[in-house]
A and B are shown apart, each in its own frame.
Chain A
């Protein structure tokens, strides 16, 4: 069964600190992996998209890594800011024989305290 599991479920850090969020998946065949940021009451916004051949991608203070062999990804946030408080969702795409689909994780709820 294709699944995407994220950890931790929630995380509280102090402003200025770094943190790392984890994503493990069993989706196969693999096409790409995305990280989204979803503010409360808003739609998700894309942070990074990585294909099989990419093992790291950065977007400002956000750096995503991908290990396609172990089917793991991480999102590292550097020098956190209050505006980083949000849910971070890992999404894995397959590319089946006829039509691909997206598999969504439940997200990690990050809270940044001043």
Chain B
């Protein structure tokens, strides 16, 4: 099993709250990714990082932000949660570029905004 962790696993929060979803990996991977997945739908890339102090937006526009201060840590923050942010958020990492190397996924955070 991949050594990539996400907390919390489940989060129910009210509209307007600030939240941070945590993601950590112990594999020393430079490349890390955040995906959003709705039930029965495909994964959409919302953020990625190729190393410390490197962050980029993905294919799906998201109001969330990310930071990469340490190699092993890639948190995602929503400044003001809205019901439209309700979704599953998956963190992943890879030893090289995702399109060439295997990606390892965390267990995900199921976010519900009421």
A residues adjacent to B (C-beta < 8 A): 4, 31-32, 34, 41-46, 49, 89, 93-95, 99-102, 104-107, 109
Contacts and interface: CB of A to CB of B under 8 A. Distances in A.
Q: Which 6 A-B pairs have the closest CB atoms?
A: A43-B105, A100-B99, A93-B99, A104-B42, A104-B43, A106-B42
Contacts of A43: 4, 90-92, 105-108
15 contacts: A31-B100, A41-B107, A41-B108, A41-B110, A45-B105, A46-B104, A49-B102, A89-B43, A94-B99, A95-B99, A101-B59, A101-B99, A102-B98, A102-B103, A107-B40
Contacts of A49: 102
B27 interface: no
Interface of B: 2, 4, 40-45, 59, 90-92, 97-100, 102-108, 110
A113 to B, nearest CB: 20
A93 B92 CA distance: 16
A100 B108 contact: no
Nearest to A90: B42
A41 B45 CA distance: 18
Given A43-B90, A43-B108, A100 B100 contact: yes
Contacts of B42: 4, 89, 104-107
B103 A46 contact: yes
Nearest to A3: B42
Contacts of A41: 107-108, 110
B76 to A, nearest CB: 15
Contacts of A105: 42
A106 B40 CA distance: 6
A99 B48 CA distance: 13
Contacts of A109: 40
A101 B110 CA distance: 25
A109 B43 CA distance: 15
A102 B42 CA distance: 11
Given A43-B92, A43-B105, 19 more contacts: A4-B42, A34-B102, A42-B107, A43-B90, A43-B107, A44-B43, A49-B102, A89-B42, A93-B98, A93-B100, A94-B99, A100-B98, A101-B45, A101-B98, A102-B45, A104-B43, A105-B42, A106-B40, A107-B42
